[in-house]
Amino acid sequence: MKTTFRPFQTTPIVANKQLNSTQDNTKVSEGKFAQVLERAIHQTSKELTLSKHAKHRLEQRDIKIDSQLWKQIEAKVGEAEKMGVNDSLVLLEHAALIVNAKNNVVVTAMGRDEATTQIFTNINGTIIL
């Protein structure tokens, strides 16, 4: 079997004069994109999300948290984040949650009775509701 090498040539798609104007447009577009991205970041809500692990634990342990309580947790986690808390323990009447305030993610969940026998590490704040 004989292999032949066939080089191919490409020609520039844009001429030099056009390249400069394209670069200028790119800078303008990047500026607009940065503005849109910045607005989107600031407009995102501070809603808590559940990690896969936390979702599984809530289901497994039959822990139910109503929407009103979620709103309270979200608000308190937001306050804690403003105070410099990155990872917090949220103690509820019937459950305990570990929440990454920086990313607004519930990392894990357990029943309150289960939480009394646990040692919590790598948290720098506690929220009691």
Extract the tokens encoding 7.
Answer: 């080089």
Say if residue 8's pLDDT is above 80.
no
Say if residue 62's pLDDT is above 60.
yes
Domain borders along the chain are 14-44, 49-128
Amino acid letter for position 87 = D
pLDDT score recorded for residue 5: 64
pLDDT digits (tens, 9 = 90+) for 106-129: 998 898 888 877 888 888 888 888
Say if residue 17's pLDDT is above 70.
no
Q: Which of the four pLDDT bands, split at 50, 70 and 90, describes residue 34? A: confident
pTM given for the model: 0.61
Mean pLDDT of 62-74: 89
Q: How far apart are CA 46 and CA 70, in angstroms?
A: 11
Mean confidence (pLDDT) of the chain: 78
What per-residue string of b and e applies to 3-33 under the rule 16 or more CB within 10 Å gives b?
eeeeeeeeeeeeeeeeeeeeeeeeeeeeeee
What Rg do the C-alpha atoms of the chain give, in angstroms? 26
